[in-house]
Amino acid sequence: MMRISTISRPRMQFTDSHAWIDLNGSVGFVGVSAHRLQGIEKILHVKWCCRKGTIEQGVLVAEVTTSNAVIPVYAPVACRFLGANHQVENNPDLMLQSPHDKGWLFFVSPLKAPGQVKLLSPGDYQKLVQEKSRG
Rg (CA), the chain: 14
Query: Where does residue 131 rank: exposed (0-12), middle (13-18), buried (19+ CB within 10 A)?
Result: exposed
Provide the residue ranges of all domains of the chain, joining segments of one domain with +. 12-134
Cβ contacts of residue 124 below 8 Å, gap of 6+?
14
Q: What is the pLDDT of residue 2?
A: 42
Q: What is the pLDDT of residue 55?
A: 97
Q: What is the pLDDT of residues 24-79, one digit of tens each?
A: 889 999 999 999 999 999 999 999 999 889 999 999 999 999 998 999 999 999 99
Three-state secondary structure call for residue 48: strand
Q: Are 69 and 41 in contact (CB under 8 A)?
A: no
Q: What is the pLDDT of residue 14?
A: 95
Q: What is the pLDDT of residue 11?
A: 84
Residue 8 has pLDDT above 80, yes or no: no
Distances (CA, A) of 54 to 31, 37, 97, 105: 18, 27, 30, 17
* Main-chain phi, psi angles of 86, to 5 degrees: -65, -25
Q: What is the pLDDT of residue 99?
A: 94
Q: What is the pLDDT of residue 16?
A: 93
Structural domain 12-134, CATH architecture = Beta Barrel (2.40)
Q: What is the pLDDT of residue 4?
A: 45
Q: Which residues pair with 64 in a beta bridge?
A: 46, 71
Q: What is the pLDDT of residue 114?
A: 67
Where residue 1 falls among pLDDT bands split at 50, 70, 90? very low
Q: What is the pLDDT of residues 112-131, one digit of tens each?
A: 876 777 899 999 999 998 88
Q: Are 62 and 49 in contact (CB under 8 A)?
A: yes
Three-state secondary structure call for residue 121: coil
Q: What is the pLDDT of residue 115?
A: 72
pTM: 0.90
| Integer Cα distance of 126 and 108 in angstroms | 24
